[in-house]
Amino acid sequence: MVDYARLTVVSVVVSDRAGWTVVTVSGDVDLATAPDLRSRLADLVAQQPRVVVDLDGVDVIDSTGLGVLVGARRRARQAGGDLVLVCAEGRVSGLLASADLDRVFTIHRSLTEATGSAR
């Protein structure tokens, strides 16, 4: 029997802002939901390689989810763009720092900061 209360859920909303594709992610990004996020990001990067991923609504992200972000950033950079993150202080921000991913990604505290600092 499936315990529906324990299923992980991720929501992805896409918009455009100041020349960036903004991907607002909420819920859990883990082994169960990362493949969907990977697919969505790959499609978006192929269309527009300047991507902001807003993680402020993410409750949990595991190593699979972090790998998805690293791979998407690599593809964006190869296409002449970039992938930056929005992540205010909190659990996800601490995880990024503890994994030294704050050295890999440009991390902004707000969406306005991220899209206003276009390179």
> Helix and strand tally (H, E) in the chain?
4, 5
**CA-based max dimension of the chain:** 51
Q: Which domain holds residue 46?
A: 11-116
Residue (of 115, 112, 55) closest to 87 by Cα position: 55
What value does the mean pLDDT take over residues 92-112? 94
Distances (CA, A) of 41 to 6, 7, 51, 66: 25, 22, 9, 13
pLDDT classification of 118: cutoffs 50, 70, 90: very low
pLDDT score at 63: 95
Q: Model confidence over 9-21: pLDDT tens digits? A: 678 889 999 999 9
Residue (of 112, 49, 42) closest to 82 by Cα position: 49
Q: Give me the phi and psi of 99, to 5 degrees please.
A: -90, 5
Confirm whether 6 is domain-assigned: no
CATH number for the domain harbouring residue 27 = 3.30.750.24
Confirm whether 54 is domain-assigned: yes
Q: Model confidence over 52-83: pLDDT tens digits? A: 999 999 988 999 999 999 999 999 999 999 99
Q: What total number of domains does the chain contain?
A: 1
